[in-house]
A and B are shown apart, each in its own frame.
Chain A
Amino acid sequence: MNGDAPANGADAGISRSMSGEAVPRPVLKVSLGPVSLPNPVLTASGTFGYGDEEPELTGMLGLGGIVTKTVTLEPRAGNAPPRIWETPAGMLNSIGLQNVGVDRFLTEKLPALASLGVPVIVSVGGRRAEEYVETVRRLQGAPGITAFEINVSCPNVKEGGLEFCQVPSAAAGVVEAVRKVTRLPLWAKLSPNVTSLGTVARAVAEAGADGVTVANTFVGLCIDIRTRRSRLSAGSGGLSGPAIRPLALARVRDAVRAVTIPVVGCGGITTAEDALEFLIVGARAVQIGTASFRDPRAARGVVEGIEAFLRAEGLTSVEALIGTYREEV
């Protein structure tokens, strides 16, 4: 982490205000139940590969955590191209969980990821509850895993994925089964494509989840009017990016109202101002996804922007801001 801290008074955690008096550096550290993060900004699953980019290019060493691309029991080829299509202020994707599988992840990806000194949250997917269980069982003894994010919401796979969230008891069933094989913290990544996200959040919380990530992508469709075919080979895809941000924020608010476990906000966050909205509504951390595609240092910029905002507002910690949404009109 050398060289990553701001130069001004960083060593002592002290900086100078405009008038020259020493003011403490705002504390960015957050705790999410059993999980402690150096700051509330993570990368969203599937948007940062396996964190094997050059740290200089991505600024990953200053992040609160890296959520990995979803790992499944067996390697997956993913969907045929085209897999992505840009939309106004967003993008559709149907990657289809292409990944190396848990065994190669353990030997080829995790060691380098764990050595970065940034908390690693491993995203786990599967077709059936048993696959999640077996994947987590193989992972959970490995060094360097801070928590698991249980992906019960991928819109781009034929089996499992989104359908878990559409039946709250099914999503809860996966969490309950995984809970039995690991003591590591479990977050459930929920789908926004449901009638009541709060109901699903309550179900997974009761099943033993330590947190919920809200939310995955919205199901979307784009058509080539010339060929009358979908822009994506898989048909529909998942919409992400700033286009969905207000939708995601409203769902984060719903989740915060529904459960007492920590909520991680995710959906179209591009700037520190965006992230602050989610924190104010009650998310205890945020994930940056599509914005990293446009600027691989976007998440790092969000960390710096949050710190600058706290200073400007005279707040001593990010905790002082979380959940300060004034709902009365």
Chain B
Amino acid sequence: MTRVGGLAASVAPPRTVIARVESNRPLVPGIFEAVLALPSEWGPARPGQFVQLECPPPELFGLRRPFSIAGCRAVVGGVEVRIVYGAVGMRTHGLAQALPGVALRLTGPLGRPFDAMPERRAVLLGGGRGLAPVLMLAEHLGRNAHGAAILLHGARTASQLIPIPDPPCEVRPATDDGSAGFHGTLVDLLQSMSDAGELLEGRDALYACGPNRMLAALAAWSAERDLPCQVSLETHFGCGLGMCAGCAVPVKTTAGAEVSAFERFVFLCREGPVMDAQRIDWAGVHE
């Protein structure tokens, strides 16, 4: 994880702190952005890392939820962390109701970040709310000027495309129904770029976050090409700290290698959430 100076050179130790909601608003129907105020000793976080966040109501016992970090910056008197999340279950619906000032316990930054490859152009793919961590990566790459990154940004339909008010690089939208941008999935868009000679094996690298189904398709598409592909994966987390063994992801064993049964699954909270797409045994990944 030490390829790029300043990007993944070091990972800050996780801390448990009280996060205060500064703002919390819908970006598109069903997808929200929360800005959280943390104490100044927290972080810094790297693109691809996540936080475990207590979700309201706190009086009702519940597991914390993992959220990819969409942004992290030092501000006067502390650190500001952004998360982008879908209101899909009871806890995330509860979070969507949280008003400014609400205090929530948070542990992070956790997990392995994206490991940017400076010798390759970055092609970033963000599907739905999966845009958040790759947009953060694009912002870091932009600053560090490792080539001109390009961000492919997908959603089911135009109204679900998360706005990017201040794009750090070229952005190409795609929608499944063709209501905005390219008509098709992000993998379809990649294929069309490849056909047009806009994607170069041996020169480009892929970084993606989105629904597991999209990531599986991307892994299959990139498997036979010289296009390294890192994906930020999602699964159910119990603790996010490697204690519960709940977030198992099946991984491929090297052909012919003698491995212990224990190596069949890795814990996504520790080995991920960003993993090499070709390491994952996608047949065993649930949607």
List A residues at the B interface (Cβ < 8 Å).
Answer: 46-49, 52-54, 56-58, 69, 74-86, 89-91, 93, 95, 98-101, 104, 233, 241-242, 270, 292-297
- Stretch of B67-75, B138-146, B221-229, B234-242 on the interface side: B234-242
B257 in contact (CB, < 8 A)? no
Q: Is the CB of B236 within 8 A of A84?
A: yes
**Given A46-B245, A49-B243, A81-B250, are A54 and B262 also a contact pair (CB < 8 Å)?**
no
Q: Is the CB of A54 within 8 A of B236?
A: no
List the A residue with the shortest CB-CB distance to B261: A77
CB-based closest 10 A-B pairs: A77-B264, A84-B246, A293-B239, A75-B262, A75-B260, A77-B261, A49-B243, A89-B61, A95-B245, A293-B238
Q: Which residues of A contact B107 (CB under 8 A)?
A: 57, 296
**Given A54-B13, A295-B105, are A86 and B63 also a contact pair (CB < 8 Å)?**
yes
**Given A48-B243, A91-B238, are A75 and B261 also a contact pair (CB < 8 Å)?**
yes
Q: Which residues of A contact B260 (CB under 8 A)?
A: 75, 100-101, 104
Within 8 Å by CB of A292, from B13, B236, B239, lies B239
Q: Is the CB of B239 within 8 A of A296?
A: yes
**Given A75-B262, A101-B260, are A80 and B250 also a contact pair (CB < 8 Å)?**
yes
Q: Is the CB of B248 within 8 A of A54?
A: no
- Beyond contacts A83-B236, A99-B262: 5 other A-B pairs, Cβ-Cβ < 8 A, are A83-B248, A89-B61, A104-B262, A233-B286, A270-B61
A293–B236 CA distance with the chains assembled, in angstroms = 13
Q: Is the CB of B63 within 8 A of A78?
A: no
Q: Which residues of A contact B262 (CB under 8 A)?
A: 75-77, 98-101, 104
Residue from A89, A93, A296 having most chain B Cβ neighbours under 10 A: A296
Within 8 Å by CB of A242, from B61, B105, B236, B244, lies B61
Chain A facing B: main interface SS = loop
Within 8 Å by CB of B60, from A54, A74, A89, A95, lies A89
Q: Which residues of A contact B235 (CB under 8 A)?
A: 81-82
Give the Cβ gap from B250 to chain A, nearest Cβ, in Å: 7
Q: Which residues 72-118 of B have a CB within 8 angstroms of A? A: 91, 105, 107
Q: Which residues of B contact A297 (CB under 8 A)?
A: 16
Q: Which residues of B contact A79 (CB under 8 A)?
A: 248
Q: Is the CB of B265 within 8 A of A294?
A: no
A100–B36 CA distance with the chains assembled, in angstroms = 38
A79–B265 CA distance with the chains assembled, in angstroms = 9
**Given A80-B284, A95-B246, are A294 and B64 also a contact pair (CB < 8 Å)?**
yes
Within 8 Å by CB of B265, from A54, A57, A69, A78, lies A78
Flag B26-61 by CB within 8 Å of A: 1 or 0 each: 000000000000000000000000000010000011
Q: Is the CB of B264 within 8 A of A84?
A: no
A233–B287 CA distance with the chains assembled, in angstroms = 12
Q: Which residues 3-17 of B have a CB within 8 angstroms of A? A: 13-16
Q: Is the CB of A49 within 8 A of B242?
A: yes
Within 8 Å by CB of B14, from A54, A83, A84, lies A54
